[in-house]
Structure 1
């Protein structure tokens, strides 16, 4: 004879089912459907996001006619992910430039200068800039864009960074980078020069050596990883703020 499940047991099973379904959506489905923290920075010319899957990258590139991707270091510790994004950009015919900034937004200030030049060059637009979470390195770059290019106040520029996910209490290094390097980044961007870096600028990386820009037409790389062919995605293009990275 079948065993009857108590009403309390039914509730527990239902709650567990919802929890498992939510976890499956967040970890295995959503990344391939909804572009991570995708937002428009400047109308029809500059966009920002976290790192994307081949499906969501294709969605963003085709929906917004993206010509150039500026990756601030999303795949520094993931060679396979780096190859996959490079191959996806190649398949989509998109120019891709990469930098090796640290996840807390620290790193060589010259990388921010060069990234600003890339994203503001009309020949590269529309441009997508992204990092890992889309909050710290991308937040820092967009902060600098608002301040240097658009003339926004520090308060307004930082308010946007916080709205999209940056937390000054969790990551004080962005404010330190701004205080130390914003004047020199501004000067270098405007006069076409570079910044002399005599000491480490990354809190978690002792190497002060500048990281060169890596770029290739269409983002092509010599090796093609498994599963590199992008698949189309669909869905909304915004994601609420979450943990920085």
Structure 2
């Protein structure tokens, strides 16, 4: 075999050894992007999934309400697979499976409003979670880190009486980092530090009794 052919074959094999695992990783990642079980049977979180990813999660965990936190993508077209172009609306996938689809636009970066009060989006969010018929709930943004992490922390403090410290530790344990590519990081921590759960002024009874597990 000529030397050039051996080099070409070696290059081809090397490329496949790198490309195939990478493609498999990316397709698997997109399918279940940062999916986390927050409270079993009640509350779940993730990033933007593919259509099959949503279908699997909905059917496996009995999801009844999906809350999309992407103000930049109110009803995104999503992929049927990693190799296909986005072709179906997220709300359409939900409608097919009888799931309620809700858009919340968490514009929490208004420093004049959010740290000193409860923005309307939070009031709307709590109103959804106050309804026992909404559960199990799945919330997501694009990456499943910042907006999703913030509203998960608020859920913990409001409905499971977690402390601020516990909520922030979980926020960071699920991928929120000081060096992540967003200037919202410091603001989100600041917002949580100033947030006052309703339970501090009046009792809040969870819609479903929950057991505290780690």
TM-score surpassing 0.5? yes
1:89 to 85, 94, 110: 94
TM-score by length of 1: 0.63
Aligned 8 A contact 1:116 1:189 in 2: no
Match of 1:129 among 139, 161, 169: 139
Shift of 1:13: 4.0
Deviation at 1:123, TM superposition (A): 1.1
> Which residue in the other structure is 1:154 paired with?
164
Aligned position for 2:38: 41
TM-fit CA distance, 1:134: 0.5
- Name which of 197, 208, 214 aligns with 1:186: 197
Compute the displacement of 1:8 (Å). Answer: 7.7
8 A Cα contact 1:113 1:185, kept in partner: no
Name the CA distance, whole Å, in 2 between partners of 1:78 and 1:92. 16
1:65 Cα deviation from its structure 2 partner: 0.7
Give the TM-score taking structure 2 as reference length. 0.71
Alignment coverage as a number of residue pairs: 186
Q: Name which of 184, 193, 201 aligns with 1:173.
A: 184
The yes-or-no answer on 1:63 pairing with 2:60 is yes
SS class of match (1:123): helix
1:174/1:116 Cα in 2 relative to 1: closer, same or farther (>3 Å)? farther
Name the SS of the counterpart of 1:37 in structure 2. coil
SS at match of 2:190: helix
The residue aligned with 1:210 is: none
Please say if 1:116 is aligned against 2:116. no
What's the offset of the Cα at 1:9?
6.9
Moved over 6 A (4+): 5-10, 188-191
> What's the secondary structure of 2:162's corresponding residue?
coil
Structure 2: gaps spanning 5 or more residues:
79-85, 203-214
Contact 1:117–1:189 under 8 Å retained in 2: no
Alignment partners' CA distance in 2, 1:64 and 1:167: 28
Range that drifts further, 178-187 or 86-95: 178-187
